[in-house]
Chain A
């Protein structure tokens, strides 16, 4: 009980942390970059349900007479080699890219977090083995590992979710193992143990709530990485296939006409990926600055 300071105990008593929570929200609200990134990500998520209302044209409709039109009044971002409006495809693409990336991230976190927390708290031989397996996976080039799972599962939206979820689960395993092992040495956990709390009570009520900060930061980082991975797999033809509006495969299809000077079918989807990933990166950067204030970061 060397570290049983009042503030740490109050933060884990249900209801007792309200004051701290309010202060945190206020602090987060005054971080302009955080608010901007949060709003941007929120607006982009809104595209998922609202795409049919916003998109000016059909995202799959083909019209050969309109093919490869340069950006202009009719088609702000031009049309692709099928004569489909690129802006409309970009607006529909978050339904695939964001949904797949978020679903994959939730699977990765859903598998890795509980395993990591339990292994970090109990520190048994099984947990150690699990961590070694996770470490081996993390040292292997992630894109090739994803391709191995594609070879086994095949291609498609559901498969891509599973592929990306699988290769990222070890990230959460490793992170939560460390967080949980560190928390289990803290005074408030030791005092709960001394007062007779069960292991499951300690894990659920003391360790898990305090692991949420790092978890949220990691979620926001991994969604950005997932988007890059999903679109990358689709770009090389190992993810989501062509008629579906998806940024990576749009870039790939567009690249076929790049040599003839038709730059817009490839350039705009890339920018869409870029601003999306940047939004999530900025969000995670500011979130970690706010949630882990002791962490010295490169500014």
Chain B
């Protein structure tokens, strides 16, 4: 078995995925005709003015030249200037990507930590009640939009009960962010021992993270139940039970056997959440990367859009990469197949 060569090949594939998405968005944004020059021009839509703006944005060049220029600038850490915020897209993203990551990382971690024990518990129950409850919950949670759940939590826990902070973003109004190390408020306040800020940032994340857990737990929960039940009936497990191996020990082994599809589901969810975060960020006033994509879309901000797509596709590719490597570590059969 050669781990290094597999991992290297897999990293290569991740770069191919990122490049393909970049190419696709570049073509979509250039070939389809919503011209940002008209938005910038405002009332002066004379052909001369439009041509001048197009030349400024470089949109009058052939598409392959635009691509070349973009890649050249990219290697110098330059993603262009946002047409909406007026800042360098790179600077905008270093502010906002950590906000999305804080939300998605915490949300996904909690989801997994709740879904797996709950799934194992439901799978071990005889009779269909636990599973029927899971089915009804999945149907309800998955049908109601995530942003609606977010608003419902705000009404209950902020407006009525007044035990959660209001939807004003990553920190309460007036509290300065921690000294920047990684950009993540959670990590930075942890590293600098800034407990007040850490507590406030966590409190701000409570409702958005709860929204994520409620809405995105069902697939992981269902996969845990079905995987666990299938593995539980395997011959080796029956033999272990017959020979008196402890039930906790058996649970851990069954869970390990059932884990590959669960890991895949978590990976797919991680990538999906990077986009779905846009809705949750909008509800809770968080200035994250996904919400930046919304602003870029409605204001035809080409450079902003391209930059944020590059950032999100890199993160999504990373999520799939980690999923595949974990998969390989978990499943010996995959390793031997690659020998």
CB proximity to A under 8 Å, residues B272-331:
272-276, 278-279, 282-283, 290-291, 293-294, 296-298, 300-302, 305, 308-309, 312-313, 316-317, 320
- Bound Cα distance from A21 to B50, whole angstroms: 62
Asked if A282 is at the interface of the complex by the 8 Å CB criterion, the answer is yes
Say yes or no: B316 contacts A141, CB within 8 Å. yes
User: Residues 256-299 of chain A: 1 if any B CB is under 8 Å from the residue's CB, otherwise 0?
Assistant: 00110101001100110111111001100000000000000011
Say yes or no: B28 contacts A270, CB within 8 Å. no
Asked if B265 is at the interface of the complex by the 8 Å CB criterion, the answer is no
In angstroms, how far is the closest chain B Cβ from the Cβ of A137?
A: 7
Say yes or no: B320 contacts A139, CB within 8 Å. yes
Q: Please indicate the chain A residues that have their CB under 8 angstroms from the CB of B155 in the complex.
A: 258, 263, 267
Find the residue from B154, B298, B305, B316 having the highest chain A CB count within 10 A: B298
Known: A137-B24, A141-B312. A147 touches B144 (CB 8 A): no
Q: Please indicate the chain B residues that have their CB under 8 angstroms from the CB of A164 in the complex.
A: none
Q: Please indicate the chain A residues that have their CB under 8 angstroms from the CB of B17 in the complex.
A: 136, 139
**Interface footprint category on B:** 35 or more
- Bound Cα distance from A144 to B97, whole angstroms: 14
Q: Please indicate the chain A residues that have their CB under 8 angstroms from the CB of B308 in the complex.
A: 144
Asked if A103 is at the interface of the complex by the 8 Å CB criterion, the answer is no
Say yes or no: B145 contacts A273, CB within 8 Å. yes
| Residue of chain B at shortest CB distance from A282 | B139
Asked if B25 is at the interface of the complex by the 8 Å CB criterion, the answer is yes
Q: Please indicate the chain A residues that have their CB under 8 angstroms from the CB of B34 in the complex.
A: 151-154
Q: Please indicate the chain B residues that have their CB under 8 angstroms from the CB of A261 in the complex.
A: 159
Known: A151-B301, A274-B143. A266 touches B151 (CB 8 A): yes
| Residue of chain A at shortest CB distance from B267 | A139
In angstroms, how far is the closest chain B Cβ from the Cβ of A174?
A: 14
Say yes or no: B294 contacts A238, CB within 8 Å. yes
CB proximity to A under 8 Å, residues B186-207:
none
- Bound Cα distance from A273 to B215, whole angstroms: 14
Find the residue from B25, B144, B148, B226 having the highest chain A CB count within 10 A: B148
Q: Please indicate the chain A residues that have their CB under 8 angstroms from the CB of B20 in the complex.
A: 133, 136
Which of A140, A237, A267, A277 is B298 in contact with, Cβ under 8 Å?
A237
- Bound Cα distance from A19 to B313, whole angstroms: 51
User: Residues 206-239 of chain A: 1 if any B CB is under 8 Å from the residue's CB, otherwise 0?
Assistant: 0000000000000000001000100110011110
Asked if B95 is at the interface of the complex by the 8 Å CB criterion, the answer is no
Say yes or no: B151 contacts A143, CB within 8 Å. no
Asked if A149 is at the interface of the complex by the 8 Å CB criterion, the answer is yes
Say yes or no: A136 contacts B140, CB within 8 Å. no
Q: Please indicate the chain B residues that have their CB under 8 angstroms from the CB of A270 in the complex.
A: 144-145, 148, 151-152
Asked if A112 is at the interface of the complex by the 8 Å CB criterion, the answer is no
Asked if A251 is at the interface of the complex by the 8 Å CB criterion, the answer is yes
**Interface footprint category on A:** 35 or more
Find the residue from A136, A149, A151 having the highest chain B CB count within 10 A: A151
Q: Is the interface of A mostly helix, strand, loop or mixed?
A: helix
Asked if B135 is at the interface of the complex by the 8 Å CB criterion, the answer is yes
- Bound Cα distance from A284 to B300, whole angstroms: 37
User: Residues 156-173 of chain A: 1 if any B CB is under 8 Å from the residue's CB, otherwise 0?
Assistant: 000000000000000000
Asked if B251 is at the interface of the complex by the 8 Å CB criterion, the answer is no
In angstroms, how far is the closest chain B Cβ from the Cβ of A18?
A: 35
- Bound Cα distance from A154 to B28, whole angstroms: 12
Which of B143, B159, B273 is A259 in contact with, Cβ under 8 Å?
B159
Asked if A82 is at the interface of the complex by the 8 Å CB criterion, the answer is no
Find the residue from A141, A145, A274 having the highest chain B CB count within 10 A: A141
Asked if A1 is at the interface of the complex by the 8 Å CB criterion, the answer is no
Find the residue from B158, B274, B293 having the highest chain A CB count within 10 A: B293
Say yes or no: A155 contacts B166, CB within 8 Å. no
Known: A144-B312, A231-B145. A139 touches B305 (CB 8 A): no
In angstroms, how far is the closest chain B Cβ from the Cβ of A180?
A: 24
- Bound Cα distance from A163 to B215, whole angstroms: 24
Asked if A248 is at the interface of the complex by the 8 Å CB criterion, the answer is yes
In angstroms, how far is the closest chain B Cβ from the Cβ of A110?
A: 19
Which of B132, B145, B222, B276 is A141 in contact with, Cβ under 8 Å?
B276
Say yes or no: B222 contacts A144, CB within 8 Å. no
Known: A136-B17, A144-B309, A298-B226. A235 touches B316 (CB 8 A): no
Asked if B262 is at the interface of the complex by the 8 Å CB criterion, the answer is no
Say yes or no: B290 contacts A144, CB within 8 Å. yes
In angstroms, how far is the closest chain B Cβ from the Cβ of A241?
A: 10
Asked if B131 is at the interface of the complex by the 8 Å CB criterion, the answer is yes
| Residue of chain B at shortest CB distance from A132 | B20
Which of A133, A141, A145, A224 is B143 in contact with, Cβ under 8 Å?
A224
Say yes or no: A258 contacts B154, CB within 8 Å. yes
Say yes or no: B275 contacts A143, CB within 8 Å. yes
Give the 7 A-B residue pairs with the shortest CB-CB distance, closest first: A141-B275, A270-B148, A143-B275, A152-B32, A274-B144, A277-B143, A147-B297
User: What are 15 A-B interface contacts by the 8 Å CB criterion?
Assistant: A133-B24, A140-B271, A141-B276, A144-B308, A148-B25, A148-B297, A150-B298, A151-B29, A151-B34, A151-B296, A152-B28, A152-B29, A248-B145, A258-B159, A266-B148
